[in-house]
Structure 1
């Protein structure tokens, strides 16, 4: 028989189990019951519907990797246990059905062992060794068979044997789960094993206690307590899910919901107990216990679902809170590209005015010369970051140093109201971000000052400092290019469009010609500004590649310069990182700018080539030359000192050969490692 045909036979057998369990449930439902309506009819039917629905969904999923086929049999059996325990209208019949339910529980626990063995082997874990599994299963079935024979012979041994096996199997399942979790070293399996262990604990612990009490002669234990009713949900969750809950987080919220649900459940159970004493509301006082548990579960799940819905619908329920969160994100995006205090101040003021009940907010920078300002003395009364409320508004000291103070002040709108908790949390977050930016800006300024002083005293500059300066320089160039593009150039284009519209509307030829002239001048300014933006941050390098960008630069220089440029770029210069491409472009750009401004040359040669495992850039001109010893060290990125720092920051080596009146020759080399690093 092939594997495909075997799989089809298994599916047909499982479908037969589903049909058989459904027929048995219908038959048990129509039988007479001696218990109350809730515990004897409604709850057993609900339990079967849940188990049958889970089994049917697993059958339709048609999977068998994690023990799904055994789980279907388990669900078909467990769904009938509560109905079996409540069936029968006479004492003898009910006792027989309950004994059958206990036997079915033992069989379901044996199936549980095999399901968990299949499931954990799917993840590469060992639940129980094969020998132990069969050593447990064979004696359990043998004991049940012996007890059944004694029952037929007139000795009531089947029920005690079933209860004893139930206790032993549940204890074994808990011990094996704990052992797997202790032995497993893989952190990825921890959430799954936590769910398994605590799920078994919550499912089996009440049943285990009830079984032990029943074996010791306590006859008042309700039958539903003796069956681990949460096992079907636990196994279905484990088998069907690939992502597992954070159990510590879930238990914390579950404990909170359980604590709130416990008090009203106890109160309702007490009231129900006393009311039942006055009439025939329930047939059995044990129904009061079941009703209390049912009420607790209903309240618990309602509270837990409410927490989930509050989180899922938070954007609709708390639209204002969503707005202030967007404001924080907007502020963070602004400061990511611009951490200048002069530009951050208006951003903070605007966001505070939009999100809080204030009509005016100001960020004040107070120096020693502003000691007469009342806010200077008021700011000293609170700690940095502390919100100090007044009758007129509030003030916050953001930063304090020897140079002065930075204070945020705001005036309440009328009629005045207090800040609600969400607004206070938002304001505290905004203040924290602003303080970090201000402190970092001050630290950077201090660092730059110290580095400049160190550079003036020492000839050696650390490589890490050079690389850091390159990154800072490119970031500043990018910020200024974005600002010029998004503000200045767009404003000039708007002016050009407005002049064009006015020129078309004007009937006076002289006015129209004047408007056209103004428009052309503005567009010329836009063209120049676009060139400045490209020089500040030539993003086209990343799109076109280094070679094409350099060739375009050579063409522009030949159009503008008084000398003839002979440039050559090797074809084998592709595949570099963006940082290296930009560094080489900046070096070439600085060499050509220096030639245009200072060299007074007639001919310039520039070559970029690959030789063996090195990349070489050579430059030469026939200009007036320079005094090499006069080139100093600098932390800047402009001029020849900045070019030298840029080359060394990328791991290159530079040699300059020149004398006054004899031209300039520069040779730069990068290793392959430095170019691709």
Structure 2
């Protein structure tokens, strides 16, 4: 059970008020229908109908121009809604006078039937109610996850104000007093709560959205609008005939301010990390409020409405959904991806929408529709086509594999081809995969591989083939060689030629026979072929590069008299260390673990079962032997790949190495380091470690030294290494005659691979000295080595 916060009583009170309001508004919607009649008072004192709301109870029953004689059996001027709002709501009966078919005056009494029509049930109760529940669910989720975040609380208020304003729109239109106050208040605070949320949310990025003074002014304006709405319903007469326009003006102005600030933030951070956030917010706000502002609020100031508020309110839910996703997941939509497709599909939809509207106009040219209705029809068609195109891409991706299984699976083929070519080691393997995939996907019987080679002179062109293509194809290719590039297709007298590789003077061609159904290659097949060709060209190029690298390495290995380039030496040592690492891993994970398992089984057997003393002694000897083998395997693993070498650093690693070697040897080692910690990259640490390891072993096995001095110094971007022992020494001339004597040549090669310098000083019976300098300023990163934590187990 979560601990109650200090705001818990306020939250309970606010939640209770919200639920009571929602229940009351639902009761108002269910208790009586929307009458939907707007009237005016004539100079003669008669109440005349001016308009009838679509989908209301009075639609098809009452028409503009009719006269209201009675409302609820009384003078219509006594009805409060007529006196204050020039509309008729909350009545049980009406007496209407209208002109009959023959021009005579006809009086009709009407009883208002209780209950909701299907239109009212969907658009006035179900959609607003589901929206309110959805936003309430969002609010509960955000509160549970982020209850201590101020931005979360503002986001919750923003969600609930949107849901409440939408749900109270119908009771407000029915002139219900609570509904009108609820709509006026919640609608006014929607932009204010949004601004406050952005203000708090952006503070974590040290980015103010608006000043506190402006925010206070917005809260004051929203409070003023709310007071006007309250006074309007509380007093018997209307104190301000434009309170609804005041609400709209404030809402429009506040949203223009929000859009302006979002645009300013977007421009300010066009190259910063908040660029996507502001673009994200600006897009969501534009999508949410543009339909209402452009087609309802702004035209409503001039007495024209293109789209009803109920329909435009649906777009407002783009903001809660978007910010709920942002706040909970801390991620943004790929807004550029969505916008690019939105602009593309709106451009595509414009012409079809105009054509459909034109055809409708021709078919029903004798219609009574006004220009506003035609604009509404165009907007509906335009929106539906855009949404269809927008979601078609998703439907293609999701549904095409299920409903179009007879078509070639080009994407699956590309995925399969990419997996197979990852294992290609030679050109023949690639061509076999290409042939198999082409024959599997395309309805063709034959393919062939050709190679065009250009000589030193431009006119010297030779074409070689595997023999499956017509000789005429080879002759035609000699003439078309100048215009061929990777992915390009050339139509031949039979089939097509596709360039699948281009490296140096050689071009690799795939010839594909005509299709068995005698049709030409369609655009999907051509796109598939181009994709396959580009994949293949990369593999061809890599095969050439690998072949050249192997040739260079073989040449270096054969020519030992010449000095190999440092990069070759680094590569050789890297491969060697990788093999050591793999061998250490195999020993640790296989042999060592098996030995441990058998040791534990033997130990358990000796403890669980009674045995004769002689057998027990023999088993104890076997157990000790297993322990020796386990120790030797662990020691071998550590020598092959020292554990935690990179984590310890070179100084600590050498101290541990010296400690291990002194256990097995008779010499003493004096280690001097300056400073105590020397910054080196992984390759350099491993190289110095191996050099010291080799020198210590030589001191024990060959030099028979009793005292060794090791010194490491780092300054001026260089590492200075010094080694001296008091062993037997050697004649340095022997190094020229023996490549592997005491590992000295290997040490020289390793130092040269790191662009270092090394010098040996020695003579018989005078010890052995090594002076080494390595550059530290530019770390060598030739791929590094993998993690070695497995060796410590």
Report whether the alignment pairs 1:211 with 2:292: no
Deviation per CA, 1:152-173, whole angstroms, max 9, x where unpaired? 5445232332233233222222
**Which residue does 1:583 correspond to in 2?**
687
Report whether the alignment pairs 1:166 with 2:256: no
**Which residue does 1:307 correspond to in 2?**
393
**Which residue does 2:131 correspond to in 1?**
50
Deviation at 1:234, TM superposition (A): 0.7
Of 351, 358, 365, the match for 2:433: 351
**Which residue does 1:248 correspond to in 2?**
336
Aligned residues: 581
**1:219-258 map, 5 Å:** 219-224=304-309, 229-241=314-326, 242-258=330-346
Deviation at 1:243, TM superposition (A): 1.0
Query: Quick one: structure 1 residues 99 and 71, their matched pair in 2 at CA, closer, same or farther if it must change by over 3 Å?
Result: closer
**Partner of 1:4: helix, strand, or coil?**
coil
**Which residue does 1:429 correspond to in 2?**
534
Of 728, 733, 737, the match for 1:627: 733
**Which residue does 2:506 correspond to in 1?**
405
Query: Quick one: structure 1 residues 668 and 100, their matched pair in 2 at CA, closer, same or farther if it must change by over 3 Å?
Result: closer
Query: Quick one: structure 1 residues 405 and 397, their matched pair in 2 at CA, closer, same or farther if it must change by over 3 Å?
Result: farther
**Which residue does 1:471 correspond to in 2?**
570
Report whether the alignment pairs 1:195 with 2:280: yes
Report whether the alignment pairs 1:667 with 2:764: no
Distance 1:38 1:348 in 2: 66
| Unaligned residue ranges in structure 1 (runs of 5+) | 335-342, 485-536, 559-564, 596-600
Aligned residues: CA RMSD: 6.0
Deviation at 1:252, TM superposition (A): 0.8
**Which residue does 1:126 correspond to in 2?**
208
**Partner of 1:243: helix, strand, or coil?**
coil
**1:477-626 map, 5 Å:** 540-541=640-641, 579-580=683-684, 583=687, 610-611=710-711, 613=713, 616=722, 625=731
Q: Is the 8 A contact 1:393 1:410 kept in 2?
A: yes
**Which residue does 1:338 correspond to in 2?**
none
Distance 1:406 1:291 in 2: 58
Query: Quick one: structure 1 residues 53 and 405, their matched pair in 2 at CA, closer, same or farther if it must change by over 3 Å?
Result: closer
Distance 1:248 1:237 in 2: 15
Distance 1:249 1:607 in 2: 70
Q: Is the 8 A contact 1:82 1:101 kept in 2?
A: yes
Distance 1:629 1:649 in 2: 19
Of 79, 94, 105, the match for 2:187: 105
Query: Quick one: structure 1 residues 371 and 269, their matched pair in 2 at CA, closer, same or farther if it must change by over 3 Å?
Result: closer
Is 2-11 or 49-58 further displaced after alignment? Answer: 2-11
Deviation at 1:52, TM superposition (A): 2.7
**Which residue does 2:633 correspond to in 1?**
none
Q: Is the 8 A contact 2:325 2:331 kept in 1?
A: no
TM-score computed with the length of structure 2 as normaliser? 0.57
Q: Is the 8 A contact 2:454 2:462 kept in 1?
A: no
Deviation per CA, 1:266-291, whole angstroms, max 9, x where unpaired? 666778889999999x9x99777667
Distance 1:483 1:122 in 2: 48
Distance 2:342 2:754 in 1: 56
Query: Quick one: structure 1 residues 447 and 22, their matched pair in 2 at CA, closer, same or farther if it must change by over 3 Å?
Result: farther
**Which residue does 2:165 correspond to in 1?**
78
Query: Quick one: structure 1 residues 323 and 652, their matched pair in 2 at CA, closer, same or farther if it must change by over 3 Å?
Result: same
Relative contact order higher in (CA < 8 Å, ≥ 6 apart): 1
Query: Quick one: structure 1 residues 21 and 325, their matched pair in 2 at CA, closer, same or farther if it must change by over 3 Å?
Result: same
Q: Is the 8 A contact 1:622 1:663 kept in 2?
A: yes
Deviation at 1:406, TM superposition (A): 5.6
Deviation at 1:368, TM superposition (A): 6.8
Deviation per CA, 1:401-448, whole angstroms, max 9, x where unpaired? 4xx636355565984885814531332322331354266558869999
Deviation at 1:50, TM superposition (A): 1.9
**Partner of 2:758: helix, strand, or coil?**
strand
TM-score computed with the length of structure 1 as normaliser? 0.65
Q: Is the 8 A contact 1:55 1:75 kept in 2?
A: no
Query: Quick one: structure 1 residues 345 and 435, their matched pair in 2 at CA, closer, same or farther if it must change by over 3 Å?
Result: closer
**Which residue does 2:46 correspond to in 1?**
none
Distance 1:364 1:480 in 2: 38
**Partner of 1:196: helix, strand, or coil?**
helix
Distance 2:499 2:306 in 1: 64
Report whether the alignment pairs 1:383 with 2:484: yes
Query: Quick one: structure 1 residues 257 and 25, their matched pair in 2 at CA, closer, same or farther if it must change by over 3 Å?
Result: farther
Of 742, 745, 748, the match for 1:644: 748
Query: Quick one: structure 1 residues 80 and 384, their matched pair in 2 at CA, closer, same or farther if it must change by over 3 Å?
Result: closer
Whose helix proportion is higher, 1 or 2? Answer: 1
Query: Quick one: structure 1 residues 12 and 79, their matched pair in 2 at CA, closer, same or farther if it must change by over 3 Å?
Result: same
Of 647, 655, 658, the match for 2:759: 655
Q: Is the 8 A contact 1:620 1:666 kept in 2?
A: no
**Which residue does 2:11 correspond to in 1?**
10
Deviation at 1:183, TM superposition (A): 4.2
Q: Is the 8 A contact 1:580 1:675 kept in 2?
A: no
Deviation at 1:211, TM superposition (A): 2.9
Distance 1:421 1:177 in 2: 45
Q: Is the 8 A contact 2:161 2:187 kept in 1?
A: no
| Unaligned residue ranges in structure 2 (runs of 5+) | 37-53, 56-116, 440-444, 466-473, 584-636, 646-652, 714-719, 781-793
Query: Quick one: structure 1 residues 228 and 173, their matched pair in 2 at CA, closer, same or farther if it must change by over 3 Å?
Result: farther
**1:142-157 map, 5 Å:** 142=224, 145=227, 152-154=236-238, 156-157=241-242
Query: Quick one: structure 1 residues 148 and 372, their matched pair in 2 at CA, closer, same or farther if it must change by over 3 Å?
Result: closer
